[in-house]
Amino acid sequence: MGKLFALAVFVGLVAPVAAQEPKVDPPKKAEVLKVGDKAPAIKATKWLQGAEVKEFAAGKTYVMEFWATWCGPCIVMMPHMAELQAQYKDKGVTFIGFTKKDPNNTEEKVKTFVEKRGPKLAYTFAYSDDKETYDAWMTAAGQGGIPCCFVVDKTGKIAYIGHPMYLDVVLPKVVAGKWTEADVEGVKKIEEEVNAVFKATGDKDPEVFLKTLSAFEKKYPELGSIPYFHSARLGSLVKAKKTDEAKKVAEDLLAKGVKADDGGLVNTVTRTLVLFPDAVANKDLHPIALKSAQAGLKLAGDKDPVALFFLAEAHFLNGDKVKAKDFGAKSLAAAENPQLKADIEMRVKKYEDEKKDK
């Protein structure tokens, strides 16, 4: 990959499939917040979307999820949490996306993000200038990464602490009042099986991953929507030369991403089809790559360097060198990060090197 590493990092190509981002602030408090304890209060500087949650009302369920604008895995999870909020809204469940100030997560950045994505996500967002609430929840619970969520049951006690990707198995029982200690241990077992699926992505044989994933989804059909599987699934289908299946998965993910205004999901499809060698070599996938890249640019805006680069690559794959050069130049002009700019420049150079009649 060489110089492509920086570009891959920016678009999420080499990001961990698991969604735990390292936490900037190490735990400092000795106290422990655990399942079964009363949920701490929420103190926010601003409630950016939705009604302020002044207290945890009896008979209601809450999902308190910690995130940041710089946390890619957090943003990947948001559309699915929005689906869950819509699904459980009439059952008294309130989702709260809570974030605190840090050098890369300013109020301005958070506000801009919520203004753009919040209406479609349709759940509550809160921001704090200090760490009081973060420490009361995350630090006290010994949690070292985000996204991390706390489910507060109808009695105001914490029923679950962990990754939001498991909410599909947690919420039904918590809402029904049937959540037990055995279920808490059960999620730990599921986590081990999920890790086994992630581990299978490193196998040289894509069939191993596809088989492992299929077995997991048959055992836990309610967890079939975990978004971190999408890229590995599509990439493995491409590598295994299962073109028809790859096309269907790509089309389905693209349609879902466009409907939800989920640029991250659309980029998952695009980056796989324009950067993955087996996809680049498969002409049957090039039309979908172009369709996905066009959708991605529409969602990201015409000043986004990565979206412009993806569209340049897609046009190049489809034989339109003129448009490839045009969007490549726009991508370079829009790239402000020096390393990203250097990577894009190296990639788009091939548009000039290619003979016009080739």
Using 50, 70 and 90 to split pLDDT, how confident is the model at 191?
Answer: very high
- Looking at residue 122, what is its pLDDT? 96
Residue with tokens 């490549």: 328
Q: Is the peptide bond before 147 cis (omega within 30 degrees of 0)?
A: yes
Mean pLDDT of the chain: 90
Its pTM stands at 0.86
Is the pLDDT at 195 greater than 80? The verdict is yes
Q: Tell me how far CA of residue 146 lies from CA of 33, 114, 235, 345, in angstroms.
A: 17, 18, 26, 33
Q: Tell me how far CA of residue 279 lies from CA of 17, 267, 283, 288, in angstroms.
A: 20, 15, 8, 11
Strand pairing class (145-146; 46-49): unpaired
Is the pLDDT at 19 greater than 80? The verdict is no
Using 50, 70 and 90 to split pLDDT, how confident is the model at 352?
Answer: confident
Q: What domains does the chain contain, in order, with CATH numbers?
A: 19-179 (3.40.30.10), 201-353 (1.25.40.10)
Alpha-carbon torsion 140, 141, 143, 146, what sign?
Answer: negative
Is the pLDDT at 252 greater than 80? The verdict is yes
pLDDT per residue over 336-347, tens digit each?
989 999 999 999
In this prediction, residues 272-280 reach a mean pLDDT of 95
pLDDT per residue over 54-102, tens digit each?
999 999 999 999 999 999 999 999 999 999 999 999 999 999 999 999 9
Q: Please give the Cα distance from 199 to 207 (Å, whole number).
A: 13
Q: Please give the angle made by the CA atoms of 221, 165 and 83, to the nearest 5 degrees.
A: 80
Is the pLDDT at 302 greater than 50? The verdict is yes
Percent of the chain with pLDDT over 90: 82
Q: Tell me how far CA of residue 351 lies from CA of 251, 317, 324, in angstroms.
A: 27, 11, 7
Type of residue found at 79: P
In this prediction, residues 212-233 reach a mean pLDDT of 92
DSSP string, 52-92: ---S--TT-EEEEEE--TT-HHHHHHHHHHHHHHHHHGGGT
Q: Please give the Cα distance from 147 to 216 (Å, whole number).
A: 22
pLDDT per residue over 255-269, tens digit each?
999 998 999 999 999
